[in-house]
Amino acid sequence: MDKIRMVTPLVEMDGDEMTRILWKMIKEELLLPFIDLKTEYYDLGLANRNDTDDRVTVDSARATQKYGVAVKCATITPNAARMDEYDLKEMWKSPNGTIRAILDGTVFRAPIVVKGIEPCVKNWEKPITIARHAYGDVYKNVEMKIPGAGKAELVFTDEEGRESREVIFDFKAPGIVQGMHNTEASIESFARACFQYAVSTKQDLWFGSKDTISKKYDHTFKDIFQEIYEKEYKEQFDALGLEYFYSLIDDIVARIMKAKGGFIWACKNYDGDVMSDMVSSAFGSLAMMTSVLVSPDGIYEYEAAHGTVQRHYYKYLKGEETSTNPVATIFAWTGALRKRGELDGIGELARFANALDAATVETIESGKMTKDLALITSLENVTVLNSEGFIKAIRERLEGRI
C-alpha cells in the first residue's frame, strides 16, 4: 500500500514523561506505517527547554504561525520539585502559556464520547464543549510578596506620561498582591471564536463571568460578548434556532449540573482551565478530552487536555506495567492531520484521520481498553490492556478499515 503523501509539514511539539512515551508509540504504530509523515520537529521536553533557555518553545510557536497547524504532546510546567529533578537553570514558564500568549485565541475542549463510558452526571446526554479564552488574566499575571506595612497601588501611565491610580490595599502587615490584564482585541476574538464555533457546530453558547463583583474587568467581557452577539451573530443564531445565554459564573455552574449538554460553555482563562478538568472527568476520564487552540487568524494547535501522567511514568521507569490511556493524544494527531488535509486539499489525509478516530472508539466499544476506562465502564467482559497492547489493538482495527 502506498503511504499517504503530505505537502505542508505539521509542527510537531514533543513533550515529557509518560505522554512522551505514548507519543513515540502512536507515531510508530498508528501513523508512520500509513502516512509519509511530514513534520517540523521541536523537542519541548523539559531537558531541551532548559538547554535552549526555553527558546525552543518560542520557536515552535513561531513555526506554528508559519505553517498553520501544530500537534503538541503534554509538557511539564516546572515547579520547585522539578527544579531539582531536572537541575533547571530557571523555573521556565508553562509552555502552553508561552504558546497561547504568542498565538492568542480560544481553546475548545470536547469530550470523546463512547458507548459504555457514561458520564457520572447522569443527565448529561450530550457532550459539553468548553471554550477557554487562552490569553491573559492570571496566566500573564505579575505578583508581589508584600514584606510589611505599606500601600499597594495600580498605576497606569499613558503615552503622555499622565498617571491614573487605584489603591489596592493599605497593608499593615505582610501580604500578597497580583496584577492581571487582558486586551479588548483578545476578548473580541475570543467572543467571535465562540460565536463562530457555535454556528459551525450548531450548538447553543453559554457564557458566565463574575461581573457583579468585578465591575470593570469581568463586566468588559460580558459587554463585549453582548455587543458582538447583537451586531454580528444574532441573526444567524435566530435563523438556526440557537441561543446565546449569559449569566453569573456561579449560576452557570449550577445550571450545568442540571443540563442535558449539547452546548458550548465559554469560560474565561482560569475558569476554563479548572472546569475543563471537571467536565472531562465527569464525562469519563481526563484522557477522553480533546483540545484545540484556535487563533483569531485561523491557526490551529491540537493537544490532549491532560498532563504528562507523572505517576504512571515513575512506575514505567521502575519497569512496572502501566495502562496509560493514549486516546486524547491520538485525537490530537488526528485533529491536526485532518485540518492539514483540509487546508492542503488532501482528502486521503482527512479520511485517514476519521478512520483512526473510528478505530479508536470501536476498540473501546468492543471491550478493549486501558485501566482508567475499565474502572468506569458499564460494558461487561472487558479486557484491560497496557498502553502498548491498546495501541496495537487499535492498529488491528485500523488496518481492517483501510
CB 269 within 8 A of CB 133: yes
Which of the choices Mg ion, ligand NAP, none does residue 308 contact, using the CB cut-off of 5 to 8 A by kind? ligand NAP
In the complex, the smallest distance separating the C-beta of residue 330 from ligand NAP, rounded to whole angstroms, is: 11
Biggest CA pair distance of the chain: 75
Nearest position to Mg ion, beta carbon: 273
Q: Phi, psi at residue 168, to the nearest 5°?
A: -85, -50
Q: What angle is formed at CA 140 by the lines to CA 136 and CA 144, rounded to 5 degrees?
A: 140
Which of the choices Mg ion, ligand NAP, none does residue 273 contact, using the CB cut-off of 5 to 8 A by kind? Mg ion
Q: Which is nearer to ligand NAP, 309 or 356 (CB)?
A: 309
| Using rule CB under 5 A, residue 273 touches Mg ion | yes
**Out of 310, 354, 366, 386, the residue judged to bind ligand NAP by CB under 6 A:** 310
One-character DSSP codes across 1-46: -PPEE-SSPEEEEE--HHHHHHHHHHIIIIITTTEE--EEEEE-SH
What amino acid is encoded at 387 in this protein?
Answer: S
Q: Which is nearer to ligand NAP, 296 or 307 (CB)?
A: 307
What amino acid is encoded at 377 in this protein?
Answer: T
Which of the choices Mg ion, ligand NAP, none does residue 301 contact, using the CB cut-off of 5 to 8 A by kind? none
Interface segment toward ligand NAP; rule CB under 6 A; list 126-134, 136-144, 193-201, 307-315: 307-315
CB 322 within 8 A of CB 315: yes
Q: For residues 99-138, which are near Mg ion according to CB under 5 A?
A: none
Which of the choices ligand NAP, Mg ion, none does residue 98 contact, using the CB cut-off of 5 to 8 A by kind? none
CB 332 within 8 A of CB 291: yes
Could you tell me how many residues make up the chain? 402
Q: Which three cell numbers stand for residue 87?
A: 537541575
Q: Which is nearer to Mg ion, 291 or 363 (CB)?
A: 291
Q: Which is nearer to ligand NAP, 198 or 332 (CB)?
A: 332
User: What string marks each residue from 95 to 114 as x (binds ligand NAP by CB under 6 A) or -?
Assistant: -x------------------
Q: Which is nearer to Mg ion, 12 or 273 (CB)?
A: 273
| Using rule CB under 6 A, residue 50 touches ligand NAP | no
Q: Phi, psi at residue 378, to the nearest 5°?
A: -95, 0
**Out of 264, 269, 372, 395, the residue judged to bind ligand NAP by CB under 6 A:** 372
Interface segment toward Mg ion; rule CB under 5 A; list 38-46, 141-149, 249-257, 267-275: 267-275
Query: What gap in Å lies between CA 359 and CA 361, rounded to an integer?
Result: 6
Radius of gyration in angstroms for the set of CA atoms belonging to the chain, rounded to a whole number? 22
Interface segment toward ligand NAP; rule CB under 6 A; list 69-77, 175-183, 249-257, 337-345: 69-77
| SS3 of residue 41 by DSSP | strand
Quickly list H helices, 292-346.
310-317, 327-344
| Using rule CB under 6 A, residue 287 touches ligand NAP | yes
Query: What gap in Å lies between CA 117 and CA 377, rounded to an integer?
Result: 5
Q: Which is nearer to Mg ion, 141 or 236 (CB)?
A: 141
| SS3 of residue 86 by DSSP | coil
Q: Which is nearer to ligand NAP, 243 or 321 (CB)?
A: 321
Q: Which of 107, 136, 138 is nearest to 280 (CA)?
A: 107
Q: Which residues here bind ligand NAP, judged by CB under 6 A?
A: 74-77, 96, 286-287, 303, 306-311, 324-325, 372
Q: Which residues here bind Mg ion, judged by CB under 5 A?
A: 273
